[in-house]
Homo-oligomer: A and B are copies of this chain.
Amino acid sequence: MAKPNKTPRPKAEAPKGFRDYFGAEVTQRAEMLRKIAGVYHRYGFDALESSGVETVEALGKFLPDVDRPNEGVFAWQEDADADKPGDWLALRYDLTAPLARVYAQHRNDLPTPYRRYAMGPVWRNEKPGPGRFRQFYQCDADTVGAPSVAADAEICAMLADCLEEVGIERGDYIVRVNNRKVLNGVMEVAGVLDPTDPDKFASERGIVLRAIDKLDRLGLDGVRALLGAGRKDDSGDFTDGAGLTDAQADVVMGFMQAKRDTGAETVARLRELVAGSSTGVQGVDELETIADLMAAGGYGPDRVEIDPSVVRGLGYYTGPVFEAELTFEIKDEKGRVRNFGSVAGGGRYDDLVKRFTGQEVPATGVSIGVDRLLAALHAKGRLTGDAIGPVVVTVMDKARMADYQAMVAELRQAGIRAEVYLGNPKNFGNQLKYADRRNSPVAVIAGGDEFDNGMVQIKDLILGAKIAENATLEEWKDRPSQYEVPRADLVAKVREILELNR
């Protein structure tokens, strides 16, 4: 007698905010990562893979886009040892914080500069939303230990190369470059940054930064409101502003709108805006150098341009910042046309390693949002076609399994994706349904007659589907998409059909 169920059955569900990826979703991402890794490698970066788990202590409080420390991280405490409490561990939330830890830990064994790329999942303990998951892929490259803006310029060029490598055409993207030092210069001029007391006005500047970062979404008026008293959104919620005077806000707005038709004109305009701030002037000089280096490498303003509206939200950037935006329009989930927007970003951060060693280590890097980039290629129809399924050798006679197995072995040795139908073979219709579901190009059929005569039936499922769609039942009965060939010609005939359907 069966025993009664003692416990209720577990729910078969991925945790909230996590999802499963099937078939082409997985292989397309793997292919994209492989291509990007190829570009990173060609630029001289070496691979690094750290584990998904770090100590909370090492990760620190740099979680992007979150104001409060340690929020948004999956963390747990290790079991206590006999004499001391367990360490707090956490899943990494990006690949930059682990890089800082790795560099600090292994710095005596690493070359200087240390140039590494890394790719893999990161985790955020955030509220999931549509298209927003708590595990996603990042694909980063960073140069640690190089103060030269040539390192930043190189990353911008590399980012452009990566986008083209994965199938974003020139003209469909732009890498926009700015410099935090220019922004700081503007803040000095506006009177919300005092170089002798960097902590003063910190909260105001935080609001300014986030406001500029939201230009795309809020528009100029929305940003302006946030620079001043604050802003009420459509839902009636009020967001406090930075409390800048009109004159101060004008300076910041002028900065955001400083972009001119050419890089040289933009640089000239920025020089006017930061006049009097040595930090600001240094930032403009750096932007000019980056523009020169880009031009020398053949990366014109159709690929990389200076754009003062790019600020990147992260507190830790200290110099050049950059962002890759896809410029084509797509329809969002509500059918509205909009720009696809940002797929990658990065910049210079000189303080991350200092946390560990006390020494300032200049670093710059980029992070490509692989999942967003895949979504963009989908939206553009550049990831066409489902993956083609295997050739399915159907089972007419269970006792002949060894013969069927020999057929697939031959096909596989010829490099052809193939499998024997391994479900219950009784219902032949189920076997063809299975082949259909797998998007199989060819079915192989052999029963008693075929084995007796040394023949095999080969069914072109792609042609068959086309005929079934277009022809009358009468024509379909002729089954012109099915061929009987000698057993010895199995591989040759299957290959012929695969090549015709390619």
Contacts and interface: CB of A to CB of B under 8 A. Distances in A.
Contacts of A74: 53, 76, 89
Interface residues of A, number: 104
A123 B53 contact: yes
A150 B434 contact: no
B409 A123 contact: no
B405 A135 contact: no
Interface string A56-89: 0110100000000000001110000000000101
Interface stretch (A42-50, A179-187, A263-271, A479-487): A42-50
A89 B75 CA distance: 11
Contacts of A57: 10-11
A403 B296 contact: yes
B14 A101 contact: yes
A147 interface: yes
Contact of A47 (B12, B22, B58, B415): B22
Interface stretch (A110-118, A229-237, A239-247): A110-118
A418 B418 CA distance: 41
Contacts of A58: 10-13
A26 B49 contact: yes
Closest 5 interchain pairs by CB? Answer: A44-B419, A12-B104, A44-B390, A296-B402, A76-B76
10 contacts: A9-B357, A12-B104, A14-B50, A14-B102, A18-B51, A30-B34, A42-B412, A43-B417, A111-B434, A153-B405
Given A13-B101, A30-B37, A147-B424, 6 more contacts: A23-B47, A34-B34, A43-B417, A46-B438, A154-B419, A157-B409
Interface of A: 9-16, 18-27, 29-30, 34, 37, 41-44, 46-55, 57-58, 60, 74-76, 87, 89, 91, 101-102, 104-106, 111-113, 115, 121, 123, 134-135, 143, 145-148, 150-151, 153-154, 157, 161, 289, 292-293, 295-298, 355-358, 387, 389-390, 392, 401-403, 405-406, 408-409, 412, 415-420, 422-424, 434, 437-438
